[in-house]
A and B are shown apart, each in its own frame.
Chain A
Amino acid sequence: ELKVEQNPLFLSMQEGKNYTIYCNYSTTSDRLYWYRQDPGKSLESLFVLLSNGAVKQEGRLMASLDTKARLSTLHITAAVHDLSATYFCAVDANYGGATNKLIFGTGTLLAVQP
């Protein structure tokens, strides 16, 4: 059964600093997603990573995928307060399939302090 572990659970950062959130998963998958959730809101799609070595960047966020290590990272560069939110990684449990069954990590609550 696919398990997804995310760490840290909580991250308090100062503005301008860099940090990385890690997402490990237990079985082979070919799709990994990063989502952002603001308090009381739904999930906003950030990145879709589909192949080994995939790297995607949007603003101060960069995500990468290493399928051999079963590891994805979300790197935050020069954090700003607006990035404060909970970040989830999610892995599709149906390797090679056409269906959608996402297994989510526990989430990382990011608090960027001025």
Chain B
Amino acid sequence: KAGVTQTPRYLIKTRGQQVTLSCSPISGHRSVSWYQQTPGQGLQFLFEYFSETQRNKGNFPGRFSGRQFSNSRSEMNVSTLELGDSALYLCASSLEGMRTEAFFGQGTRLTVV
């Protein structure tokens, strides 16, 4: 069974640009969550999507947005990139309902220069 797939794996962008990251969940999983990992702040929750609706949101500025498609694939967008946005962005998928385990993708390493 295929795991969570994130594309691209690596990305270099310039300050002020915008970027879109993609996440394809495990087949049958309808919940997709996004996390940012940095050396300074650790792992932080960005948002969660379920059935094309945002169910949870973390404490990030509005420059960070996302969406989910009918096939459960999700995209995350960051506009007006800042140097501090450089991070590993991880996507996790899980089945709907309570007490379900989250499985993480390999992540997208974003570097803002």
Contacts and interface: CB of A to CB of B under 8 A. Distances in A.
Interface string A82-110: 00000010100110111111111111000
Given A45-B103, A103-B45, A98 B33 contact: no
Interface of A: 30-31, 33, 35, 41-45, 48, 50, 88, 90, 93-94, 96-107
Nearest to A41: B106
B92 A100 contact: yes
Contacts of B45: 93, 101-103
Interface string B95-113: 0111111111111000000
Contact of A98 (B58, B97, B101): B97
Contact of A100 (B31, B42, B43, B105): B31
Contact of B48 (A44, A45, A48, A100): A100
Contacts, number: 64
A101 B34 CA distance: 9
Given A42-B90, A43-B90, A107-B42, A98 B98 contact: yes
- 7 closest A-B pairs by beta carbon, nearest first, are A104-B43, A43-B104, A101-B56, A42-B106, A42-B104, A99-B55, A98-B98
A58 to B, nearest CB: 14
26 contacts: A30-B99, A33-B101, A35-B104, A42-B106, A45-B101, A45-B102, A45-B104, A48-B101, A50-B99, A88-B43, A90-B43, A93-B45, A94-B56, A99-B31, A99-B48, A99-B50, A100-B56, A100-B94, A102-B35, A102-B43, A103-B45, A104-B35, A104-B42, A104-B43, A106-B42, A107-B43
A93 B35 CA distance: 14
Contacts of A105: 42
Contacts of A35: 104
Q: Is the interface of A mostly helix, strand, loop or mixed?
A: loop
A85 B44 CA distance: 19
A111 B98 CA distance: 35
Contacts of A97: 98
Contacts of B33: 100-102
